[in-house]
A = this chain, B = another copy of it.
Amino acid sequence: MSYESRSEHRFSFGLWTVGNVGRDPFGGPVRETLSPVQLVELLEEVGAWGVNLHDNDLVPIDATAHEQDQIVGDLKKALDATGLVVPMATTNLFSDPVFRDGAFTANDPRVRAFAIRKTMRAIDLGVELGATTYVFWGGREGVETDSSKDPLRALGWYTEALNFLCAYVKDQGYDLRFALESKPNEPRADIYLSTTGAMLAFIETLEHSEMVGVNPEVAHEHMAGLNFTHQVAQAWSMRKLFHIDLNDQIPGRYDQDLRFGSANPKAAFFLVKFLEDVGYEGSRHFDAHAYRTSDYEDVKAFARGCMRTYLILAEKAARWNADPEIQALVADITADDGSVPATLGPYSPELATRLGDLEIDRRALAARGQPYERLDQLTVELLLGVR
> Do residues A341 and B109 form an inter-chain contact, with CB atoms below 8 A?
yes
Answer whether residue A343 sits at the interface, using C-beta atoms and an 8 A cutoff. Answer: yes
18 CB contacts below 8 A, A to B, read A27-B99, A107-B333, A107-B370, A113-B355, A117-B355, A145-B262, A145-B379, A146-B229, A152-B278, A160-B344, A185-B225, A194-B230, A200-B201, A202-B234, A205-B238, A298-B370, A302-B377, A313-B384
> Do residues A224 and B227 form an inter-chain contact, with CB atoms below 8 A?
no
Task: Select one of B263, B274, B294, B377 contacting A259, CB under 8 A.
Answer: B377
- Tell me how far the C-beta of A324 lies from the nearest C-beta in chain B, rounded to whole angstroms: 15
Other than the given A197-B201, A291-B370, A295-B367, 12 more pairs (CB < 8 A) read: A23-B25, A26-B94, A28-B97, A109-B340, A147-B372, A193-B234, A198-B201, A204-B238, A262-B380, A265-B380, A299-B373, A305-B376
Cα(A161)–Cα(B384), bound, Å: 38
Chain B residues within 8 Å of A114, by CB: 360, 362, 365
Flag A150-192 by CB within 8 Å of B: 1 or 0 each.
0110011100110110111001000000000000111101101
Chain B residues within 8 Å of A140, by CB: 26-27
* Count of identical protomers in the assembly: 4
> Do residues A373 and B291 form an inter-chain contact, with CB atoms below 8 A?
yes
Flag A105-128 by CB within 8 Å of B: 1 or 0 each.
001111111101100100000000
Flag A284-315 by CB within 8 Å of B: 1 or 0 each.
00000011111111110110110011001100
> Do residues B187 and A375 form an inter-chain contact, with CB atoms below 8 A?
no
